[in-house]
Amino acid sequence: MMRNILIFGAVVLSVLAFAGFKVSAQTAMEGAQKMDKNAKILVAYYSWSGNTKEVAEAIHEKVGGDLFEIQTVQSYPAEYRETTAQAKREINEGFRPELKGKVADMAQYDVVFIGSPNWWGTIAPAVSSFLESYDLNGKTVVPFVTHGGGGEQNTIRDLTAQCKGCTVKSGGWVGYGSRTFGISGWLEDLGFAD
């Protein structure tokens, strides 16, 4: 008798758990809004090592639009430790490097993906320069971050704070190195799926 009660209880709990999962999955799917198919998209990124570039290219391949590499006039050193030391100084001083190249007509874009490596817990100074160089008011900004073990830290929070007047999509991409696993699902969750 006790065994039958336990089996019955397990079955009831299983059914309730499945029903709860189904409702939460349906709610998540309903929450993902489709992006306007006519939206003009820009994927802009800064990449020192090439990791953020690989992620940017993977995003661009999925969403289309235009691809723009954020580049500094003065290059960073080729040696890793020298670059990290310079980046730390620049971040601590609030330095904004001069950029070369410009987005021809930022006003045409509705959605701007912005990618940065995690440098000392925040976005690269070149990305801060980029954010200060353009009027992103009224645009949807989708952040993506690569890291070598530091995770998100303050990157997306700092990007959001520097992005005046724009709507920053929550749930930005944060990936280790140049790994692009999960980008399709992430874009689908944000409403960029076909």
The residues spanned by each domain of the chain are 1-31, 35-189
Q: Report the pLDDT value the prediction gives residue 61, as an integer from 0 to 100.
A: 95
Residues of the chain where predicted confidence (pLDDT) is lower than 70: 1-35, 193-194
Q: Report the pLDDT value the prediction gives residue 28, as an integer from 0 to 100.
A: 37
Q: Is this prediction's pTM over 0.75? A: yes
**Residue 96 DSSP class:** -
Q: Which residues contact 46 (CB under 8 A, 6 or more apart)?
A: 52, 69, 70, 71, 115, 116, 117, 124, 126, 127, 130
Q: Report the pLDDT value the prediction gives residue 73, as an integer from 0 to 100.
A: 97
**Residue 177 DSSP class:** T
Type of residue found at 49: S
Say if strands 122-123 and 173-176 run parallel, antiparallel, or are unpaired.
unpaired
Q: Report the pLDDT value the prediction gives residue 122, as an integer from 0 to 100.
A: 95
Q: Report the pLDDT value the prediction gives residue 11, as an integer from 0 to 100.
A: 46
CATH class of 35-189: alpha beta
